[in-house]
C-alpha cells in the first residue's frame, strides 16, 4: 500500500478512537454510496454525524481540513442523504471534520463540529 494510504488509514483509526473517547457511537466506517465514501458515520446525542477525516504529514499547503472544499461537501451531503433514506432515519444530520496532522511531537487531532451546513 502507498505511504499516503497508510497515513490516511492511521488517521482514520486515530479519529475513530478520538470520537469513541468523546462518547460517539460509531455506526459505519468507509460507507460507500456510488463512488462516494463517508469516512465515519456516528451518533452523538440526537444527531447522525457524518465525519470526514483528513490526514496530512505536513501543513505546508494548509491545514488538512481546508481540503474539504465545496465539491467534497456536496458529495458528502449527497451520500448522507442516501444513508438517511436507506436506513429510514428521522434524525438531523451534522457534518464534522476530524483533522489529523502528523507533527514533530506526534499526531495533532482537531475536531470541527458543524464544519459546514447543507445548502437547500
DSSP lists the bridge partners of residue 42 as 26, 49
CATH of 3-116, one of 3.40.50.300, 3.60.150.10, 3.30.70.940, 3.40.1350.10: 3.40.1350.10
Q: How many helices (H) and strands (E) does the chain have?
A: 2, 5
Average model confidence (pLDDT) across the chain: 91
pLDDT at 3 over 70: no
pLDDT at 1 over 80: no
pLDDT at 115 over 90: yes
Rounded to whole angstroms, the Cα distance separating 111 from 25 reads 16
Per-residue pLDDT tens over the stretch 34-90: 989 999 999 999 999 999 999 998 877 788 898 999 999 999 999 999 999 999 999
pLDDT at 69: 94
pLDDT at 61: 76
Of the pLDDT bands very low, low, confident and very high (cuts 50, 70, 90), residue 97 is very high
pLDDT at 120: 57
Q: Which residue has the cell 481546508?
A: 66
pLDDT at 84: 96
Closest residue by Cα to residue 25 from 55, 51, 64: 51
Domain segments of the chain as ranges: 3-116
pLDDT at 7: 80
Amino acid at each position: 500500500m502507498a505511504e499516503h494510504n497508510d497515513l490516511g488509514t492511521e488517521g482514520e483509526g486515530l479519529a475513530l478512537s478520538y470520537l469513541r473517547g468523546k462518547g460517539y457511537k460509531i455506526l459505519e466506517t468507509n460507507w460507500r454510496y456510488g463512488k462516494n465514501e463517508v469516512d465515519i458515520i456516528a451518533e452523538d446525542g440526537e444527531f447522525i454525524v457524518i465525519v470526514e477525516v483528513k490526514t496530512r504529514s505536513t501543513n505546508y499547503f494548509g491545514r488538512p481540513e481546508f481540503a474539504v472544499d465545496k465539491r467534497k461537501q456536496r458529495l458528502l451531503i449527497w451520500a448522507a442523504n442516501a444513508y438517511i433514506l436507506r436506513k429510514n432515519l428521522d434524525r438531523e444530520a451534522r457534518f464534522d471534520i476530524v483533522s489529523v496532522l502528523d507533527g514533530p511531537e506526534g499526531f495533532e487531532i482537531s475536531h470541527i463540529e458543524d464544519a459546514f451546513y447543507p445548502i437547500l
